[in-house]
Structure 1
Amino acid sequence: MRSLSRLSFSFLTLALSLSHVASSTSTCYKRELSIVGSDFFEQFDWDTEDDPTHGRVNYLSLQESKAKNLTYATEDKFFMFPDSKNVVATGARGRDSNRISSKQAFDESVVIIDLQHMPYGCATWPAFWSLSQKGPWPTGGEIDIIEGVNEATENLISLHTLPNCTMPQTRLQTGTTVSTNCDVAYNYNQGCGTQVPQPISYGKGFNSIGGGFYALARSKESGIKVWFWPRFSFVPLDVQWNEDTVNPDLWGPPTAYFPTGDNCGYAQHFNAHMLVFDLTFCGDWAGSPSVWGASGCSSMICSDFVDKNPQAFADAYWEVNSLRVYTPETN
């Protein structure tokens, strides 16, 4: 598919600008951080603790991951892979993989990821998300920007919080409301989620089109919003061209919108978040009997599938073009 011209994007941006010209709360954000290629090794920590979601996974240190060639970077790409060559030994913690957390944390901000390829496949549970650096979880909240399991095709965007945070069933978003109670104690920590109504928003379909962009914007006034743009679509210029400033008020309706206010106070539920990438296997969601049983993946139990089928994880990798963080401009 031929990409749209910069002029075409300009007309789109102008149209969106005119539609929002009357807004008195329009906020520009300046670029605070741009992470590309080997910058990830400096800006993230590799976490090696046991998986809190009980996955069949062995999270490696940076040194171990590099030594096993499960993470590397080029000038303009960053990669993370699981082990896809070895049968997992009996008694081992699980299949080798990566979980990384940003060293910096951000409160009111815009986060834009340009993602080329995400993990997918049977028994996988990848996520790009954020959580309170101060904690302890769920204090300070959690925002799941990209998340899914097994061979899902549509991304699920969710919040997980302390009690007394709910969302309206109907709100200004292009996604589909799945659940409205964000409390982690409700319905086995389902959270309040919005499904992206595009089969190219996650997994194999996403990768087949060369990926795309996800953007998170969060503020005390506007709440929490997430947008998804496939790579060859009407991507806003400031997102597409790595501009010094961005204005999410000009991007049109978000894919997922979580208003904060009387039903979910921003200050009570959210603080400065670090950004996290991970890939676990099975665990509380992908490996739950009902979800795994309905996946059509295997008659094996999920953990046995992970242990005995290394080749099944050859496409379960992250390929990131860039990650940018913007913070509000001050006058």
Structure 2
Amino acid sequence: MLFLYYSVTFACLFISLQDSVYASNIASRLARRTARHINGLAKDLNVALDVVLFSAQKQPQVQLTTHSQVVFCKPGTGSTSTGIPSASSTRTASSVASSSTGVAVSTPWKLVEEHSGSSFFDGWTFTNAPDVTTGGVVNYVDSGTASSNNLTQITSAGTAIMRVETTPVVTGNRQSIRITTNNVYNTGLWILDAVHIPSGCGTWPAFWTNGPNWPAGGEIDIVEGVGDSTNDQATLHTIEGCSLSSTSSSALGITGTTVTSTDCVSTGGGCGIRSDSTVSYGAAFNSNGGGVFTMTLNSSGIAVWFFERSAIPSDITAGTPLPGAWGTPFAWWSSPTCNISEFFGFQSTIFDTTLCGQLAGAVWSDSGSPGQAQSCATRTGVSDCVTFVQNNGAAMEEAYWEVNSVQIYQIPS
């Protein structure tokens, strides 16, 4: 019994010492949030503390009927940072993931909406109208037309396909897909796992979220680009009063590069940030096996990350995401210069692929952006976007989305 007493006493002292070490590590992390190489169990505890300190409460979820959907415009052109939150979205606090050290850590995120496999298209509304918002030369079609014309498909691998019409020559608009989720969220974590993004001259695809009464409800472009671009661009569009505090990547705490303007007002094209990854969009993304895009939205700010297929964090794969462990995002808009709760609300989630229009058509003769060393006018030998798109259906063969899943998480209140 005496041996057992001393054994228990020794164990308690050891645990107490360990707790002191852990507390010291936590204090160190809070003092030096930009340190990127604190690992082991201390890192896991720091991540959990980040979540507690920065995660926003879940906001009311609202279901919009088809009749209450609004017309969304898209006029835009084209961390280790101390304030980056572990954003509010979904899997319960009892969910457990494994850290890089093999130690189990919990996550507060709860999965509230998922689209994957044979049920991928459940819970979306198909737009059935011409693209009048951006001037694109497409007609968005309803679910039945899309299926019968082979514009949508669930593959044998369980991926969802959304195509543009490839008829050799058309006299008007090409058929395309635009889908919008029926559910909306004020805060959350969005995760898109995609295999293929539409690419090629004339294409302008996007994966984005949007609030009601555009631009009053705010717009967050998570994946967007045109033509032969290789780098994704994330952009905010708002009413007046939201901005980036600087054009300096280091000052903003991002890995990406600011483009367009620091003013996010929609009439000026929004405030865009281009990813530093040359395989985050278009043909380069597709040939690299695709990857994962994530976006967090809460009162502290909006952050966007991109992960190549070979570098997807294990917590995402496990379904127990921990944004605080993902490092510096390529895009980050913080609340000190943009009141997120004021400018963004009731976000629907949207896929679309338009052609030409106010962006792809406007930059048809431009060159010099990543992946676009030659202009589309030079590469195709056609002087304008619309003429090319209408007369070259074969060029639309790569104008399709292939998606493994879309997941939306929240932190329960």
TM-score category (smaller protein): 0.7 to 0.9
Distance 1:219 1:48 in 2: 32
- Could you say which residue in structure 2 is the equivalent of 1:159? 236
Q: Of 234, 257, 273, which residue of structure 2 is paired with 1:194?
A: 273
Query: CA RMSD, aligned part only?
Result: 1.8
C-alpha distance in structure 2 between counterparts of 1:50 and 1:68, whole Å? 17
AA aligned to 2:409 is: Y
**2:116 and 2:405 in contact (8 A); partners too:** yes
Q: Could you say which residue in structure 1 is the equivalent of 2:10?
A: none
TM-score normalised over the length of structure 2: 0.71
Deviation at 1:260, TM superposition (A): 1.5
Equivalence for 1:7: none
Cross-structure match for 1:293? 365
C-alpha change, 1:312 and 1:260, in structure 2 (3 Å) is same
TM-score between the two structures when normalised by the length of structure 1: 0.87
> Which one of the candidate residues 114, 118, 138 is aligned to 2:197?
118
- The amino acid across from 2:408 in the alignment is V
Equivalent residue, structure 2, for 1:251: 326
Quick one: higher RCO (CA 8 Å, sep 6+), 1 or 2?
1
**Which of 251, 257, 275 pairs up with 2:349?**
275
Aligned pairs for 1:1-331 (under 5 A) are: 16-17=43-44, 20=47, 23=50, 24-27=52-55, 28-51=108-131, 52-74=133-155, 76-89=158-171, 92=172, 94-132=173-211, 135-169=212-246, 170-178=251-259, 179-186=261-268, 190-220=269-299, 222-233=300-311, 235-241=312-318, 243=319, 245-261=320-336, 263-288=337-362, 291-294=363-366, 295-296=375-376, 297-298=379-380, 299-330=382-413
Alpha carbons 1:43, 1:102 under 8 Å: kept: yes
Partner AA of 2:169 in structure 1: V
Aligned residue pairs, count: 305
Specify the SS of the correspondent of 2:267.
Answer: coil
CA distance in 1, matches of 2:223, 2:335: 21
CA distance in 2 between partners of 1:88 and 1:278 (Å):
20
Contact 1:146 1:156 in 2 (8 A): yes
Checking the alignment, whether the CA contact within 8 Å between 1:16 and 1:252 is kept in structure 2 is no
Contact kept? 1:46, 1:98, Cα under 8 Å: yes
CA shift for structure 1 position 20: 4.1
- Read off the aligned partner of 1:303 and give its amino acid letter: V
| Identity fraction in percent | 37
Counterparts of 1:161 and 1:223, CA distance in 2: 14
Structure 2 unpaired stretches of 5+? 1-37, 56-107, 367-374
SS across alignment from 1:162: coil
Offset at residue 48 of structure 1 (A): 1.6
Distance in 2 (alpha carbons) for counterparts of 1:12 and 1:100: 41
Q: Distance in 1 between matches of 2:231 and 2:180?
A: 24
Per-residue CA deviations over 1:249-301 (Å, capped at 9, x if unaligned) read: 2221111101023x21122201011110000000000001xx10122343331
Structure 2 CA distance, aligned partners of 1:12 and 1:305?
Answer: 53
- Larger Rg over CA atoms: 2
Whole-Å Cα distance in 2 between the matches of residues 144 and 101 of structure 1?
14
1:39 Cα offset (Å): 2.0
**Alignment-mate amino acid for residue 174 of structure 1:** T
Q: Cα distance 1:167–1:309, how it changes in 2: closer, same or farther (>3 A)?
A: same
Distance verdict in 2 for CA 1:239–1:21, change over 3 Å: closer
Which runs of 5 or more residues in structure 1 are unaligned? 1-10
Q: Is the 8 A contact 1:13 1:237 kept in 2?
A: no
How far is 1:40 from its partner? 2.7
